[in-house]
Structure 1
Amino acid sequence: MNDQSVVRSGPLRFATAERFSPPVPVRGVEPAHGSGGICPQPPSRLDKVMGPPHDRRPQSEDCLHLSVTSPTAPVPVPARVPAPVPGTGRPVLLWFHGGGFSSGAGVLDWYDGSALAAEQDVVVVSAGYRLGALGYLVLDGVSEGNLGLLDQLEALRWVRDNIHLYGGDPGRITLFGQSAGALSILRLLRMPEARGLFRRAVLQSAPVSIATRSLAEARETGRLFAAHLDADPHTASHEALLTAQAQTAADLQQLVGNTLVPPFGPVADTRSLPAGPEDFAFDPTAMDVLYGWNADDMSAFPEGPNDQGGVAERTHRAYESPLTALHGELERAGARVYGYRLDWRPRGSAYGATHCVELPLLLGSAAAWHGAPMLGDLDWSEVDGFGREVRTAWATFARTGDPGVLPAPMTALDR
Structure 2
Amino acid sequence: MNPVAVTSGGTVRGILEDGLAVFRGIPYAAPPVGDLRWRRAQPHPGWTGVRDGAQYGPSAHQPYLPGGSPIMGEHGAPPFAEDCLTVNVWTPGLDGAKRPVLVWIHGGGFTSGSGNIPYYAGDTFARNGNLVVVTINYRLNAFGFLHGMVPGHSNVWLSDQAAALTWIHENAAAFGGDPDAITLMGQSGGGFSIGALAQHPTAAPLFHRAIVQSAPLGLDLPTSEEATERTDTMAHLLGHADRRGLAGESATRLVEGTIAMLRRSAAFGAWNLAFTPVLDDLMPAHPRDALADPRLDLLIGWTEDEGTFPFAADPQYDTATADDVTAFFRERHENPGHVYQRYADRLGDDPRAVLSAECSDYLFKTPAREVLTRRSGNGTTYAYEFALDAAAFSGALGATHCLELPFTFANPEKWAAAPFLAGLDPELVRSLGTRMHHSWISFVHREKPWPAADGSTVMIFDTDTALREAGDLSR
The 5 Å alignment of 1:9-408 reads: 9-16=23-30, 17=32, 18-26=36-44, 35-43=56-64, 47-53=69-75, 56-72=77-93, 74=94, 89-141=98-150, 144-210=153-219, 212-230=221-239, 232-254=245-267, 257-268=268-279, 270-275=280-285, 280=290, 284=294, 286-302=295-311, 306=328, 309-331=354-376, 334-348=378-392, 350=395, 351-363=397-409, 365-378=411-424, 380-400=426-446, 402-405=448-451, 406=459, 408=461
Once the two structures are superposed, residues 35-82 of structure 1 have per-residue CA deviations (whole angstroms, 9 ceiling, x without a partner) of 4111110137971111125x843110011111111111x47xxxxxxx
CA contact (8 A) 2:305 2:399 kept: yes
Partners in 2 of 1:120 and 1:33 — Cα distance?
23
Following superposition, the deviation at residue 207 of structure 1 comes to 1.1
Taking structure 2 as the reference length, the TM-score comes to 0.75
Following superposition, the deviation at residue 393 of structure 1 comes to 0.5
Once the two structures are superposed, residues 327-374 of structure 1 have per-residue CA deviations (whole angstroms, 9 ceiling, x without a partner) of 223458x53222111111244454221111111113374553112111
Q: Judging changes above 3 Å, is the alpha-carbon distance between structure 1 residues 401 and 328 closer, same or farther for their aligned structure 2 residues?
A: farther
Partners in 2 of 1:34 and 1:112 — Cα distance?
13
Partners in 2 of 1:330 and 1:32 — Cα distance?
41
Once the two structures are superposed, residues 149-170 of structure 1 have per-residue CA deviations (whole angstroms, 9 ceiling, x without a partner) of 1100011111101111111111
Partners in 2 of 1:322 and 1:298 — Cα distance?
14
Q: Which runs of 5+ in 1 are unaligned?
A: 76-83
Structure 1 residue identity aligned to 2:27: R
Q: Judging changes above 3 Å, is the alpha-carbon distance between structure 1 residues 145 and 261 closer, same or farther for their aligned structure 2 residues?
A: farther
Partners in 1 of 2:410 and 2:431 — Cα distance?
14
Taking structure 1 as the reference length, the TM-score comes to 0.85
Q: Judging changes above 3 Å, is the alpha-carbon distance between structure 1 residues 354 and 386 closer, same or farther for their aligned structure 2 residues?
A: same
* Equivalent residue pairs, number: 394
Structure 1 stretch displaced more, 133-142 or 161-170: 133-142
Following superposition, the deviation at residue 283 of structure 1 comes to 7.6
Q: Judging changes above 3 Å, is the alpha-carbon distance between structure 1 residues 324 and 28 closer, same or farther for their aligned structure 2 residues?
A: farther
CA contact (8 A) 2:387 2:460 kept: no
Following superposition, the deviation at residue 242 of structure 1 comes to 1.7
Q: Judging changes above 3 Å, is the alpha-carbon distance between structure 1 residues 376 and 352 closer, same or farther for their aligned structure 2 residues?
A: farther
Following superposition, the deviation at residue 306 of structure 1 comes to 2.2
Structure 1 stretch displaced more, 356-365 or 128-137: 356-365
Structure 2 residue identity aligned to 1:8: V
Following superposition, the deviation at residue 264 of structure 1 comes to 1.3
Partners in 2 of 1:397 and 1:14 — Cα distance?
27
Following superposition, the deviation at residue 403 of structure 1 comes to 2.1
Structure 2 residue identity aligned to 1:329: R
Structure 1 residue identity aligned to 2:379: A
CA RMSD of aligned residues (A): 2.9
Following superposition, the deviation at residue 34 of structure 1 comes to 5.4
Residue 342 of structure 2: aligned partner: none
Give % identity.
Answer: 30
Say whether 1:414 aligns with 2:470.
Answer: yes
Following superposition, the deviation at residue 398 of structure 1 comes to 1.0
Following superposition, the deviation at residue 32 of structure 1 comes to 6.4
Between Structure 1 and Structure 2, whose CA radius of gyration is higher? 2
Counterpart of 1:226 in 2: which secondary structure?
helix
Structure 1 stretch displaced more, 24-33 or 59-68: 24-33
Once the two structures are superposed, residues 88-140 of structure 1 have per-residue CA deviations (whole angstroms, 9 ceiling, x without a partner) of 61111101001000000111111001112111111211111100111011125
Counterpart of 2:160 in 1: which secondary structure?
helix
CA contact (8 A) 1:196 1:282 kept: no
Partners in 2 of 1:197 and 1:143 — Cα distance?
24
Q: Judging changes above 3 Å, is the alpha-carbon distance between structure 1 residues 246 and 319 closer, same or farther for their aligned structure 2 residues?
A: same
CA contact (8 A) 2:142 2:258 kept: yes
CA contact (8 A) 1:36 1:57 kept: no
Q: Judging changes above 3 Å, is the alpha-carbon distance between structure 1 residues 342 and 365 closer, same or farther for their aligned structure 2 residues?
A: closer
Residue 4 of structure 2: aligned partner: none
Following superposition, the deviation at residue 391 of structure 1 comes to 1.0
Q: Judging changes above 3 Å, is the alpha-carbon distance between structure 1 residues 261 and 91 closer, same or farther for their aligned structure 2 residues?
A: same
Partners in 2 of 1:199 and 1:229 — Cα distance?
43
Following superposition, the deviation at residue 396 of structure 1 comes to 0.7
Q: Judging changes above 3 Å, is the alpha-carbon distance between structure 1 residues 411 and 235 closer, same or farther for their aligned structure 2 residues?
A: farther
Question: Whose relative contact order is higher, 1 or 2, with alpha carbons under 8 Å and at least 6 apart?
Answer: 1
Q: Judging changes above 3 Å, is the alpha-carbon distance between structure 1 residues 295 and 33 closer, same or farther for their aligned structure 2 residues?
A: same
Structure 2 residue identity aligned to 1:369: W
Q: Which runs of 5+ in 2 are unaligned?
A: 1-17, 312-316, 318-324, 330-350, 452-458
